[in-house]
Structure 1
Amino acid sequence: MASSSYQAAHLASPRIEQHFSDLIAQAGAKGESGFAKAPSTGVIEEIINAAFWASLRKEEGHSPRISIAFLSPQQAEQPLLFGKTLPLTVSALTKLAPGIERAGIHLGVWEQNGELFIWGTVLKIPNYCFVLDVSEPGLIVIKHRRLQGFGKYTNIAVLKGDEIKMLNKDCGRLQECPALVTALLDIHAPCSFNDGVNVQIQLAVSMRAHRHGALLLVVPPQSDDWKQSVVHPLQYPVYPSFDALHLLLTSDTAMHNDQFWQLSLRNEIENIAGLTAIDGATVMSSQHHLYAFGCKIVRKAKAETIEKVLFVEPVLGSKPTQKFIYELGGTRHLAAAQFIADHPQALAMVASQDGHFTIFNWSAQQQMVQAYRIDSLLM
């Protein structure tokens, strides 16, 4: 192990251990089975410590990108077993990183006789399995596989330098919280590939990944009201509307477990998410019909100019706070907030070039726009 300890690992580990213990205990009480063993506080601290110091090193000029899963080889499905186990050290992680940096590959780590060791790699892991991801130097994300195994993993904590963010499920229980946010917090999570909220999550992940900045407006189907808030003529109209994603999602459900159907779905999500990188807003219906991209958003005629939003970040210690819109970001955030104020039935998704991601929706109870900062949920 590294000679010096990462202080954030020591501080966060007890809370992470408690989360996994509670999660698995609740699952067992409901009669669920097939889930992984919860790691101890010491195990969590040791894994975080090794991953953090490894993330600051370089191998052949590249910073390590690592995903570690805590499970035994017996719990893994079709694991790739090393001929001999390796100690969990900074040096071992740095050397192995180039071979496991692709998405979906986890380095298997287990404990024996009080020592942690690396036993191989695995693609499929049990429900609620502890996973640690390193995607950039000094950034550690703790997550677990969802119970049904569909879609993005559920994030538990984000550690960046000396900053610790423990995610707060209670934010997802606030009135009028967007379904996308509650799903990311694993509250009433989508359980199928063709769930519309699950598709929105995958779109958000892809939009954030391209790092160009993006604005996606999700509007009610069979309504042209959104056109009152865009500059005409449209620069990039789509006519007739592009329905490939809609057709995939409404196809025979028997096809949805087919790997070729799933690949087609991912490709169409990447296709639409790619268009959001073009300057302006992309407009799509809640039934996944693509109407236009590169749209310039303007205030609806006779509508009031929005100044403040209710800002919510789903992390412990953060409370809903009214903020001026310019405190959140630039023109994309202003355009998104104004659009939602003018079209309360819509949803706006904004990705910033710096990695921030914000969901805007309307709160009838608060009579104002809500802004949920969710990049901690998308990492």
Structure 2
Amino acid sequence: MLSEPTYLPARIVAPKIEAHFTAHQQASKGKNGDNVASPPQLEIIEAVIDVAFWASMRREEGRSPNISLALLQPSQSDKPLLFGEKLRLTPQNLIKLAPAVEQPGIHLGVWPDGDDLCIWGTTHSVPALCFVLEVVEPGLLVVKHRRVGGFGKYVNVAVLQGDQIKVLDENTMGIADCPQLIKSLQAMPLPAYMGESFNILVQLAASMRLHKRGGLVFIVPTGTDRWRDSIVQPVKYPVEPPYTAINDLMMSKASAADKLEWRESLLEAIDLIGGFTAVDGATVITDKYDLLAFGAKAARAANSQPVGEIIMTEPVADGRARRVHPAQSGGSRHLAAAQFVSDQHDAIALVASQDGQFTVFAWSEQVGRVHAHRIDVLLL
């Protein structure tokens, strides 16, 4: 029988998570032909979050667990690994299994068995809209699901850290007043014959965070050199000719048989650019994702003014915009990004901090200021 959750945020956030999955399951009916998971029930959501939280606070042989739990039956998975005997979903069992399943892409399969929740085995594949709970670090949990008809980074639904709850605002993402940011962060459509959607900038952001060295990317309009007015010349590491692999892949045609290879090539190209962001300085790409330079040093353009107040937002429900000095948004990379966008209104800047923060900077015509949008919760 399911126990009453003792981690209070589990009870608080469960109704919102249930509503999210139910709404998306209803909207997905009859679309894409995907194998779509059934929406999880309220008490199941509460119980899984509760057990995962208490497991995250324990250590086995001096190490905290990194675990991914997926709510699905074995029949909904492709080639699952089944345990000879199911294990009750308890913090102790999660701690003991964690060393075997800490590699990315491996999920512990969880499903009700009578009055209990049980771990039936492991899987690499989950259906679209399957409830996935990832234990990132002690006290930090992320609820997410695989995209319907898409690939790449999972869609995050909620982030819980201790007593803090962040439920993502998937309608406006907190940036309704900044069309440039909406344009940059919305799902980028692939060619129609692929039948999928994919967000290149979110995937690039995830790649930038992966090396944990921090990074700065300037996205500039194709076919113009005006961005050079805000870069120390000469550029230390220019790329000549520009590296165009991402745009080439987006424009190419792939048959059904080649789709997997096409996906892998696209992700590899994004990760390659993400790797160059670890080099000190800014990586410069076009709005068609062509790599122009890396290791570039940003500088205030001639005759421009130092950036003053900026707008800060985060893509969470009930989030409010704040007016702050750019120094309050982060360190030197954040200041450089804010100044670059203030000088180059048609550019976008991405900043990854070593501590895991990730911010997108763009110019908001509506408020006449630089808009800094924290998207950490999208990338966990």
With the length of structure 1 as denominator, give the TM-score of the two structures.
0.91
1:150 and 1:191 in contact (8 A); partners too = no
Counterpart secondary structure, 1:171: coil
Rate the CA distance shift 1:95–1:142 in 2: closer, same or farther, 3 A. same
**Equivalents in 1 of 2:256, 2:225: separation in Å?**
33
Aligned-residue offset at 1:230: 0.5
Rate the CA distance shift 1:244–1:31 in 2: closer, same or farther, 3 A. closer
Match of 2:134 in 1: 133
Aligned-residue offset at 1:227: 0.7
Match of 1:60 in 2: 61
1:2 and 1:53 in contact (8 A); partners too = no
Match of 2:113 in 1: 112
**Equivalents in 2 of 1:309, 1:330: separation in Å?**
14
**Equivalents in 1 of 2:255, 2:32: separation in Å?**
27
2:209 and 2:352 in contact (8 A); partners too = yes
Asked if 1:182 corresponds to 2:186, the answer is yes
With the length of structure 2 as denominator, give the TM-score of the two structures.
0.91
**Equivalents in 2 of 1:226, 1:171: separation in Å?**
29
1:181 and 1:374 in contact (8 A); partners too = no
Q: Which runs of 5+ in 1 are unaligned?
A: none
Aligned-residue offset at 1:148: 0.9
Match of 1:220 in 2: 221
Rate the CA distance shift 1:237–1:256 in 2: closer, same or farther, 3 A. farther
**Equivalents in 2 of 1:85, 1:130: separation in Å?**
20
**Equivalents in 1 of 2:198, 2:183: separation in Å?**
7
C-alpha RMSD of matched pairs (Å):
2.5
Aligned-residue offset at 1:95: 1.4
**Equivalents in 2 of 1:74, 1:274: separation in Å?**
38
Matches within 5 A, 1:93-172: 93-172=94-173
**Equivalents in 2 of 1:196, 1:287: separation in Å?**
16
Aligned-residue offset at 1:273: 0.8
**Equivalents in 2 of 1:2, 1:351: separation in Å?**
40
Counterpart secondary structure, 1:141: strand
| Paired positions, count | 375
**Equivalents in 1 of 2:186, 2:133: separation in Å?**
22
Rate the CA distance shift 1:102–1:25 in 2: closer, same or farther, 3 A. same
Match of 1:44 in 2: 45
Q: Which runs of 5+ in 2 are unaligned?
A: none
Matches within 5 A, 1:1-379: 5-28=6-29, 34-172=35-173, 174-175=176-177, 176=179, 177-183=181-187, 198-254=199-255, 257-379=258-380
Aligned-residue offset at 1:2: 9.1
After TM superposition, the structure 1 stretch with the greater mean CA deviation from structure 2, 228-237 or 76-85, is 76-85
1:69 and 1:108 in contact (8 A); partners too = yes
1:229 and 1:300 in contact (8 A); partners too = yes
Identity %: 44
Counterpart secondary structure, 2:171: helix
For residue 321 of structure 1, what is the amino acid of its counterpart?
Answer: R
1:6 and 1:52 in contact (8 A); partners too = yes
Spell out, residue by residue over 1:334-378, the C-alpha distance to the aligned partner (whole angstroms, 9 max, x if none).
Answer: 111111122122111100111110011112222221111000111
Rate the CA distance shift 1:316–1:120 in 2: closer, same or farther, 3 A. same
Rate the CA distance shift 1:255–1:207 in 2: closer, same or farther, 3 A. farther
Aligned-residue offset at 1:317: 2.5
Counterpart secondary structure, 2:246: helix
Aligned-residue offset at 1:24: 1.7
For residue 315 of structure 1, what is the amino acid of its counterpart?
Answer: V
**Equivalents in 2 of 1:11, 1:230: separation in Å?**
48
